[in-house]
Amino acid sequence: MAASAPPSSTGSTKLDGLVQKTTAQTPEKLSGLALYSRFALAGAVCCSVTHGGLTPVDVVKTRIQLDPLTYNKGMIGGFRQVIAKEGAGALLTGFGPTAAGYFLQGAFKFGGYELFKQQCINYFGYETASNNRTAVYLASSALAEFFADIALCPLEATRIRLVSEPTFASGLLSGFGKIASQEGLGAFYSGFGPILFKQVPYTMAKFVVYEKVAEAVYKRVDKSTASGGIQTTINLGSGLIAGFAAAFVSQPADTMLSKINKTKGLPGEGTTSRLIKIAKELGLRGSYTGLGARLFMVGTLTAGQFAIYGDIKKVLGATGGVEIAN
């Protein structure tokens, strides 16, 4: 008596073979730690590469913010001034803490954004989250950035000190150690308030504008049939617009952050009192010093981040994220 076909069999040997082949070629949909660790790695790489690559622009931008009387010839003129005074190598000042700091920050920011977005969907339900997706984008990005800034702040403080005082230390490790030994660990977080004030609105604007622009584009372009190149181009364009919006929103806090990390405070002077004093000294116009350089920098790096992030997610097989755009 012939054996009966297994329950999963179609009854046809050829058809069974075709089903098995198709199943083997279909990538497993990731979830949980396997998925979010990939989001975090993709975010870490995209932020480290873009911020590290734009270190020369950041050096000039920081010099303009900290010494506008000397560096008063715009971005291109600022490059020439730095090179003439200190040599081309000065443009890479702070590369170490920049690359390391934004590797950590990118992991928390992008991984956290995807995680908190999923938590909102789990809590409110898919339909409610989709109908209120702008609020979901804003809340998820704000929470992710808060935790990302805890990781970023010490390295950002070290970077700004190295850029503002080129003779302070030779690099990341020596600069980090010198601040810790001379000023204490609390000095690394003297700029935590300003960095939150800068980065949280920056990240909220960055993600919500990116999501909205990409959503508008995909209403006219079928994402399921769009080639990889088209999707990367859409990520670049959406990221560029998001970067311009984020830079404008966060520019005053970025200037204050550069100022507060330039030197240590007076004995007994708290962070809040220092911020109030700096804000009064700057005024509204002064708080937007260096905006041109930062628009170029943030627009470029944000476009690059979303393009790299999207491509790395594909390479890592991180295709299990939930989208809530209509």
pLDDT the model gives residue 33: 86
- Please give the Cα distance from 54 to 52 (Å, whole number): 5
pLDDT tens, residue order, the chain (326 aa): 444 444 555 555 655 554 454 444 444 667 788 899 999 999 999 999 998 998 898 888 878 877 888 888 888 898 999 999 889 988 988 888 888 888 999 999 999 999 999 999 999 999 999 999 999 999 999 999 999 999 888 888 888 888 778 788 888 888 888 998 888 888 888 878 777 888 899 999 999 999 999 999 999 998 888 898 999 999 999 999 999 999 998 888 777 777 776 666 666 666 677 777 777 877 777 778 778 878 887 898 899 999 999 999 999 988 656 678 76
pTM tops 0.85 = no
Residue with tokens 């998925």: 35
Instruction: Please say whether the beta carbons of 105 and 151 come within 8 A.
Output: yes
- Please give the Cα distance from 42 to 309 (Å, whole number): 5
Tokens of 88: 């081309």
E strand or H helix at 41: helix 32-53
Number of C-alpha atoms within 13 angstroms, CB side, residue 241?
Answer: 14
